[in-house]
A and B are shown apart, each in its own frame.
Chain A
Amino acid sequence: MLVLTRKLGETIAIDDDIKIVVVSIKGRQVRLGIDAPRKTKIHREEVYLAIQEQNKAASESSPDSVKSIAKLTSAS
């Protein structure tokens, strides 16, 4: 992984069309501004990963796993 040191307000350029600027630094938090073409997908990694993980879990759902509950709900 390429590691660069940047100061507040300084920028990193990726290709010709992506810029990442350090907007503020407060204790352990860094705010980054990102300028990129609209097609570029930008997410906080944990959101992206959580959705992927949830999709995987959802794709393992089975209509059979709901049969027992059908009996429960109809009995009540």
Chain B
Amino acid sequence: MVETTRFGSISVAEDDILTFPEGMLGFSKIHEYALIERVDDPLFIWLQAVKKASVAFPLLEPQIFETGYQVELTEEDREILTLASLQHAKVFSIITIPSDPTKMTANLKAPIVINLKKRLARQVILHAADYPIRKAIYAGLQQHCAARHQAVFNETEATAYHAVHLADELEATA
């Protein structure tokens, strides 16, 4: 069981825990995270610290609002992630949702890359491309959801969250 301030107690299997060997930038002491999503609305995924209930980062797949997004790993990234290519990897942008959510932004400069097989993750910094740290994404996200007849945020009051199974994600990349 993982205790969280946002989602209550969530049952997370050992196999679904990600290790960030160096932590996130500014959160270097937190190494273990789980991915949490809403059962009925899996647009946003939350990167929840396993041992620190209050720390969670909203994530989105960058392709949703940035076509042609290019992630190039450095040798160091590959070493730490033990990852030869991005084939069995998952890339997420960290989203900041302020009190006015229409002002939400995505960090395209420093995405999260996950080695699904080894359950290793790192916040990488893209040096080559001039991606912004704060890209306004609300309009783009609305368009994406409108095209899929999906609400950006589901308004139902009863919300259930569960842990994402990494094995399922890995299978989806195969």
Contact = CB atoms under 8 A, between A and B. Distances in A.
Contacts, number: 92
Contacts of B24: 55
Interface string A23-51: 00000000000000011000100011011
A39 B96 contact: no
Contacts of A57: 96, 98
B75 interface: yes
Interface residues of A, number: 27
A17 to B, nearest CB: 15
Secondary structure of the B contact surface, majority rule: mixed
29 contacts: A38-B76, A38-B79, A39-B76, A51-B109, A51-B123, A51-B125, A54-B133, A55-B24, A55-B57, A58-B57, A58-B97, A58-B107, A59-B55, A61-B57, A61-B58, A61-B95, A62-B6, A63-B7, A66-B97, A66-B101, A66-B152, A67-B155, A68-B101, A69-B153, A70-B152, A70-B153, A71-B155, A73-B153, A74-B151
